[in-house]
Every structure is written in structure tokens, then in C-alpha cells.
Amino acid sequence: MSFLDELILRRRASVSEAKRRTAVAAHRDAALARTERRDFIAALRAARTQSVPAIIAEFKRRSPSAGDIDLSADPATVAAAYERGGAAALSVLTEPAMFAGSLDDVRAARAACGLPVLCKDFIVDAYQVWEAAAGGADAVLLIAAILDDNLLRGLFALASALQVTPLVEVHDEAEATRAYGFGARLIGVNNRRLATFDVHAGTAARVAKCLPPGCFIVAESGYRLAEDVAASGRAGAGAVLVGEALMRAPDKELAVRLFRGER
């Protein structure tokens, strides 16, 4: 069994446990009663310039590839710094076992700033979409590699109906074509291979070439220098998601500014 297979099994088990604790109806009622939304893709479009893509700044305490980054990190403090630095949106890891996250981090980060927030998790069940919407997420990550066509379409449709933007993540041309074929126009291309968690720079630039101009592309993983972010923009990415490099930066506001090309 691969590491990814093990992670997905754990996530399904934790979702089953969550269903026993809180019925989906409770999340459904909260999600449907919610009135305030922040437009995730509009924020990215507004922040993008001809020379620099928008920055999605990520909050995470640890990861399987990096290990512990900052287990004591406070999502509200980090989110406020990211916003001051000029981030267009936030990504918040909510997977608990490998990333030490939760939806409480989404709530805290969103309350501390005016940016739209992506709930980044391994979503394998509609319950998680209802839960994310109820928890204040403005967008959810749907990973094509771990979802069959029926489930991916269903989760995409549910998120869209709840006015929560679905960001469909792909890793190669076949997944990108598949995502575009059923209606995804906000597509994240991850340079990191999920099976091994190693990064292959250039994946996002290569896959972007197979997508029509109408797609808004988010490049993900492995961005550590402002020059790499700018190069990704020239290769077709409208936004770049930056995680570990920002979380390790002692001055997160300054780090975002530098990634945006400011001096």
C-alpha cells in the first residue's frame, strides 16, 4: 500500500467518525443558512498582473514531505500577516493526521482577514463539502487523482451549488483534460507527485499548455523564490500557491511582498 493509499484510508475513516459525532444535516443547515461569501476566483483575477501571478498564501503546521514546520503557528496571526503582504487568497490545510489541521483553522484565519479561504484537504465524501461550507470555506480542493468521475462531478456540482468555489487539482495532461471536460475552469496543477511526495519543477508549466485560454491555472508546490513565481506566471499560471516557504519565513508579510516582486 502506498503512502497516498494509506492517507486516503485514514481520511475515509476519520470522515466516518465525524459522521457519527455530527450528522450531515447539522452541517447542511449551517451551510444553507450562510449568507456571506468571498469570491475566490475574482480575488485571484483582481490580484494578477501581467508580470506577476496572484499569490495564494498557505497556512500549514506540518506536512508529510517537510515534517514539522511550526506546530504552534496561529492561523489568525499568520492570515493577517499574509493579507498585509498582499496575498490574494488563503489556503488552509485542514487534514488532521498528517498536517495537524482542522476547520477551526479556517474559521480563525477567515475571521482575522478579508481574504477568501480555500479549505485544502483530501476530500473523499460529500460530507466534507457540507462541513467546509458550514465552516466558512470560500473554496474547496478536489483532487482528480483520488476521485472517480462520478464522485468528482458530484462534489464539483455540490460545491458550486453552495457557492463554494471548487479548485480541481491535477498532476498531468490526462487529468487536466478530464477536469476541463466536465466543466472545471479553475484548475490547480500540482508539481508534487502524490504517490511519492517529491516535486518535479516544470509540471505546472507543461500541463498548462494543454488547457484552453479560458482556464485559470493555479500552480502548486515547490515555489521558494520570487523568480520561480514570476516564471510560472509567464508560463501561464494566473496564481501560485506558496506554502512551506512562507510558513518558514520569520517575517511572513515581507515574504509575501517578495514573492509578489516587491522590494
Residue 56: the pLDDT is 98
d(CA 87, CA 43): 10
State the cell numbers at 10: 485514514
Assess whether pLDDT exceeds 90 at residue 109: yes
Q: Where are the beta strands (DSSP E) in 13-138?
A: 54-59, 62-63, 67-68, 89-93, 117-120
**What's the predicted TM-score (pTM) here?**
0.95
Is residue 252 flagged as an active site residue?
A: no
Q: Would you kindly state where each structural domain of the chain is located, as residue ranges? A: 3-259
What is the 8-class DSSP label of residue 199? B
Cβ–Cβ under 8 Å, residues 35 and 133: no
Pick the catalytic residue from 191, 220, 232, 252: 220
Is residue 220 flagged as an active site residue?
A: yes
In terms of pLDDT, which residue wins out, 192 or 245? 245
What's the whole-number average pLDDT of the chain? Answer: 93
Is residue 232 flagged as an active site residue?
A: no
Pick the catalytic residue from 63, 91, 190, 191: 190
d(CA 115, CA 233): 21
Give pLDDT tens digits for 41-100: 999 999 998 889 999 999 999 988 888 999 999 999 999 999 999 999 999 999 998 899
In terms of pLDDT, which residue wins out, 183 or 89? 89
Give pLDDT tens digits for 7-19: 889 999 999 999 9
Pick the catalytic residue from 83, 95, 131, 169: 169
Mean pLDDT, residues 130-139 taken together: 98
Is residue 190 flagged as an active site residue?
A: yes
Pick the catalytic residue from 131, 221, 232, 252: 221
Q: Are strands 239-242 and 54-59 parallel, antiparallel or unpaired?
A: parallel
3-state SS of the chain: helix, strand, coil percent to 5? 45, 15, 35
Assess whether pLDDT exceeds 90 at residue 263: no
| Residues with Cβ within 8 Å of residue 91, at least 6 apart in sequence | 56, 57, 58, 59, 117, 118, 120, 141, 241, 243
Tell which CATH classification among 3.30.70.2700, 3.20.20.70, 3.30.365.10, 3.30.230.10 matches the domain 3-259: 3.20.20.70
Q: Binning pLDDT at 50, 70 and 90, where does residue 1 land?
A: low
d(CA 212, CA 210): 7
Q: Binning pLDDT at 50, 70 and 90, where does residue 37 land?
A: very high
Give pLDDT tens digits for 192-240: 887 777 788 788 989 999 998 889 999 998 899 999 999 999 989 999 9
Is residue 169 flagged as an active site residue?
A: yes
Residue 193: the pLDDT is 80
Q: Are strands 89-93 and 165-170 parallel, antiparallel or unpaired?
A: unpaired
